[in-house]
A and B are shown apart, each in its own frame.
Chain A
Amino acid sequence: MTDRHLTDAQIASALRAHLPQTAPAGTRRALLGAVAVTEQQRPMLPVVGWLSNAGQDRRGGLALLLVVGLVALLAGLAAAGAWQAIQPRRVLAPQGGAGGWIAYDTPRRGFLSQIHLVRMGQPERAFITDPVNGATCPAFSPDGSLLAYAIGDEIVVSRFASDGSLGAEVARYPLKFTPHRCPVWSPLGDALAVFASTNRIEILRPGGSGTSLAIGDATMLDAPGIQLVWSPRADRIAAATDRGILIVPLDGGASTLLPDSTV
């Protein structure tokens, strides 16, 4: 086989187009602050002022020795604590899908979230990314063939193959979406429920008309961290709120609040 010969200019031009020229703005801010944030959490060393006087009398040698030992001890403790101050990625919303895949997202302050796809016992992994908004809240359909996730203020549903590849989009729903209030599949896999920031539960039907049904009670669904659970027959949704469990029928009937009797 004859190798193709490239000029310096060709290589430079192609690599400049291929490699990122700048770090993403959010990443730049997070990286520039990372050292300062971490170092601010290290304990101060109050013994530094002694050092200037330590050699002035005969006890200076002993004092200096004590100071050095104390500084070394504090520095060791500080270093151990400072490593913990770097904010690690957190694994959120792990979900199982076709072919033994597990999807999760990793929100982290200052960094774009991305969805990770991993398989036990397999070296391969994949990311789902969006360079502007990040990707969060993966949710596999019950048969594992569809993957729903959030991109910015949209819920996207895409096909998912057992080899871990993401296929075409099936549906895309613009919402006033609050990050990490993730879509939840119905037991039959024909609908998604998501708590929207407009104090409503949106029912999204990827296989249907693509319209959404707004239900719920604005006075009830105002709690952060609300969780949605479908009933086995997919005719009701239970919403865990800070006032109790709100049972919301999908036929438009009145919602029922089951108060938290422990409060």
Chain B
Amino acid sequence: MSNRPQSVEAMAAKPVEVPAEEALVRRARLGDIAAFDLIVLGRLDRCYRLAWSILLNDADAADAIQDALLSAWRQLPRLRDPSAFDGWLNRIVANSARMARRGRGRVREIPVGSLGLDDDETVTEVRRDQPSTGGSPDRLADRDSIGRAFDRLRADERAILALHYVDERPVAEIARSLGIPTGTAKWRLYAARRALERALEAEA
């Protein structure tokens, strides 16, 4: 039976001395699920964002992460360098999201909250409700335009932009995450950025 604690989140919230990350990875490699959950806890949002950037909807992202976590747990004994865990986990998540994406066609997400009452307008586009983050209307409109342009990019372009601009991961780690050489990662990042600018121009 597993010795997993009742609430990993509660455990992580306690102001106790947190073991070094690499030590946790080593414990997880020996079969300690609690250690694995602790490692994952701090990375879950980032993994979710990466999967979401590829799949563009919550449910598929959650499915992809579930598959990825189980796969990571099973493959963990084969990870030679614990310090490479982040890039290695990102790679599993990205692969899982790509696999999920292959098995489906085009997807539109219809958030219920966006539908007006007694209004004959028809919802025809993908929209995602976001909390207001402040700023002038022009700047918010710019952000919306960039967001829509982002959604039109290819999945690999979205993933590399999310890793670089939102998660601020170094290029070497992005390369490990996507399973490509560092030079290729640099070129793809540049190409993805240019694609975003072109998509934004088309949006305008």
Contacts and interface: CB of A to CB of B under 8 A. Distances in A.
B162 A23 contact: no
A218 interface: no
Contacts of A15: 146-147, 150, 161-162, 165-166
A32 B44 contact: yes
A127 B63 CA distance: 15
B33 A165 contact: no
B53 to A, nearest CB: 6
B49 A17 contact: no
Contacts of A169: 115-118
A257 to B, nearest CB: 38
Interface string B97-140: 00000001111111111011111111110001110010000000
A131 B129 contact: yes
Contact of B73 (A22, A35, A40, A166): A35
B48 A27 contact: yes
Interface string B178-204: 000000000000000110111011001
Interface residues of B, number: 70
A167 B113 contact: no
Contacts of B121: 167-168
A40 to B, nearest CB: 5
Contact of A125 (B104, B150, B197): B104
Given A122-B105, A168-B120, A18 B201 contact: no
B62 A30 contact: yes
Given A11-B161, A16-B166, A114-B59, A38 B40 contact: no
Contact of A18 (B122, B130, B193): B130
A19 B166 contact: yes
B77 to A, nearest CB: 12
A177 B89 CA distance: 41
B154 interface: no
Contacts of A172: 117
Interface string A3-33: 1111010111111111111111001111110
Interface in B150-169: 150, 161-162, 165-166
A258 B25 CA distance: 63
Contact of B105 (A79, A89, A123, A127): A123
B48 A1 contact: no
B173 interface: no
A18 B33 contact: no
B69 interface: yes
Interface string A76-90: 000100000010010
A65 B176 CA distance: 38
A261 interface: no
B68 to A, nearest CB: 9
A19 B66 contact: no
B17 interface: no
Given A127-B108, A168-B116, 15 more contacts: A3-B197, A4-B197, A6-B197, A11-B165, A15-B161, A16-B133, A22-B45, A31-B62, A31-B69, A32-B37, A35-B70, A125-B105, A128-B110, A128-B112, A129-B57
| 8 A-B pairs closest in CB distance | A123-B105, A18-B147, A14-B146, A23-B48, A126-B108, A14-B143, A168-B119, A12-B165
25 contacts: A3-B197, A6-B200, A8-B165, A14-B142, A14-B146, A15-B146, A15-B165, A17-B130, A17-B143, A18-B143, A20-B48, A24-B62, A27-B62, A27-B65, A28-B9, A29-B9, A31-B65, A35-B73, A111-B62, A112-B59, A124-B105, A125-B106, A129-B109, A159-B122, A166-B110
Interface of B: 1-2, 4, 8-9, 33, 36-37, 40-41, 44-45, 48-49, 52-53, 57-59, 61-63, 65-67, 69-70, 73-74, 104-113, 115-124, 128-130, 133, 142-143, 146-147, 150, 161-162, 165-166, 193-194, 196-198, 200-201, 204
Interface of A: 1-6, 8, 10-24, 27-32, 34-36, 38-40, 79, 86, 89, 106, 111-112, 114, 122-131, 135, 151, 156, 158-159, 161, 164-170, 172
